[in-house]
Structure 1
Amino acid sequence: MQPFRVLIVDDHTHAREGIREILEEYKDFIIVGEAKNGLEAFQLTKELMPDVILMDINMPVMNGMEATKRIKLQFPFVKIVIITVSDDITDLFDALKNGAQGYLLKNIQSETWIEHLKAFALDEVPMSKEIALQILKEFPQNQTKKDKNIPLSNRELEVLQLVAKGLSNRTISDSLYLSEHTVKSHLKNILSKLHLENRVQLTSYAYKQGLMDFE
């Protein structure tokens, strides 16, 4: 497998250096560029086409939220992972709604950090209960707009519901007696058919369409 091409975005020099030191220890990642703000990140994304962007939230010129939104609109295939010292669920949820794959806290151990980053790059991170609850708060059940014809097969609907419950690809494969490769293939097809970017948006869709129970 080719290493993931990474763009680091943070307005603090020491923070970028720290991230670079962590990544350089692992062959799974190669750093292709660094940016000091969201605008630079957007411009470098066009030039470098990274696989993954590590994006800080609070930056001058253009913050990480706006940069994430702009990049995902133009380059939906680029994975964006928010890096932050805060686990404020509201900020993180806003970033995820704008298309980010997930978030990493800056103060966790480097081994765990890399483990999680690799999972984000491979689309293997399950939904957290906190994010699922935040999705539920977004809309009352009686205000949802349901599609009459959901363009998914029965198996894809099963996978979607299990994703919305917060299950990992491995757990889904065990539950449905499928290989992880097949689960990933279903997940890719579901995202494509529904024109969605990540598990957060899939979970939101599942609740809006009445495919999950409101508890």
Structure 2
Amino acid sequence: MTGDKKILVGVADDHTLLRNALARLISSFENYQVVFEAGNGKEVKEKIAKNVLPDIVLLDVNMPDIDGYETAKWIYKNYPQIKILALSMFTDESIIIRMLRLGAKGYILKNADPDELKLALDSVWQKDFYLSEYISGKVISGLHKDIDLPDEPIVLNDKEKEFLQWACSEMTYKDIAQKMYVSPRTVDDYRNALFDKLKVKSRIGLVLYAIRRGLVEV
């Protein structure tokens, strides 16, 4: 990363020691400057409302008062230019999907090492996307880290498109089957067909494809 431009970062986490440590670490990275720390979404809103506008917010998912979900939704709606890097100790698909749907550009685990945090911030800033190395290896085999997509759009039939829309929600596959008035086995067939077509091996991979292709709204 070159140039004199400082990338401004807000750090939001309800654990004071961790938040302070993250802020100090990020401030030590070349070209990065922490402009605020916050213990919950309410404090994030207050900081931003005072025109302390970061380029990136490192946002803990689980916080008191106003959590990471509501904060991400508010940031995306009111300040879409601010990039959100979600921070969590959980690898649950439902949490990752929800944060991506709410506008997060990346997701990193709290046990990541400093080099990965730097990589995550760089990737969110430069490439508009990052997923934790652990999550990428665990659930997104078949997609590059940069989430490169095929040049040619992939043709999906109507049922596959409908399934993809529901897959980007928080519903279980059983719930999706009921919504589509088909059997769970049929839903499995739709899922497997899309895994094959899109070269992904997880539901998160489907969601990423849909978001990057503009097939669902965040």
Is 1:20–2:23 an aligned residue pair? Answer: yes
Distance 1:144 1:51, change over 3 A: same
Equivalence map 1:28-43=2 (5 Å)? 28-43=31-46
**Code of the aligned partner of 1:204:** A
| Distance in 2 (alpha carbons) for counterparts of 1:107 and 1:27 | 22
**Code of the aligned partner of 2:6:** P
Match of 1:182 in 2: none
Equivalence map 1:1-215=2 (5 Å)? 1=3, 2-46=5-49, 47-125=51-129, 128=136, 130=139, 140-141=159-160, 143=162, 203-204=209-210, 206=213, 208=215
Indicate the SS of the match to 2:33: strand
Structure 1: unaligned runs, 5 residues or longer: 134-138, 147-163, 167-198, 210-215
CA contact (8 A) 1:144 1:208 kept: no
CA contact (8 A) 1:39 1:61 kept: yes
* Alpha-carbon distance, 1:40 to partner: 1.3
Indicate the SS of the match to 2:127: coil
Distance 1:200 1:74, change over 3 A: farther
Identical positions, percent: 26
Distance 1:123 1:13, change over 3 A: same
**Code of the aligned partner of 2:87:** I
| Distance in 1 (alpha carbons) for counterparts of 2:215 and 2:119 | 32
| Distance in 2 (alpha carbons) for counterparts of 1:99 and 1:79 | 8
Distance 1:118 1:207, change over 3 A: closer
CA contact (8 A) 2:106 2:120 kept: no
Structure 2: unaligned runs, 5 residues or longer: 143-157, 166-197
**Code of the aligned partner of 2:210:** S
| Distance in 1 (alpha carbons) for counterparts of 2:63 and 2:122 | 25
Distance 1:103 1:142, change over 3 A: closer
* Alpha-carbon distance, 1:165 to partner: 6.4
| Distance in 1 (alpha carbons) for counterparts of 2:37 and 2:130 | 28
**Code of the aligned partner of 2:88:** T
| Distance in 1 (alpha carbons) for counterparts of 2:38 and 2:130 | 29
CA contact (8 A) 1:5 1:50 kept: yes
- Count of aligned pairs between the two proteins: 155
RMSD: 3.3
Distance 1:16 1:201, change over 3 A: same
Distance 1:45 1:140, change over 3 A: farther
**Code of the aligned partner of 1:120:** V
TM-score, structure 2 as length reference: 0.61
Distance 1:141 1:13, change over 3 A: same
| Distance in 1 (alpha carbons) for counterparts of 2:130 and 2:114 | 20
TM-score, structure 1 as length reference: 0.62
| Distance in 1 (alpha carbons) for counterparts of 2:56 and 2:161 | 37
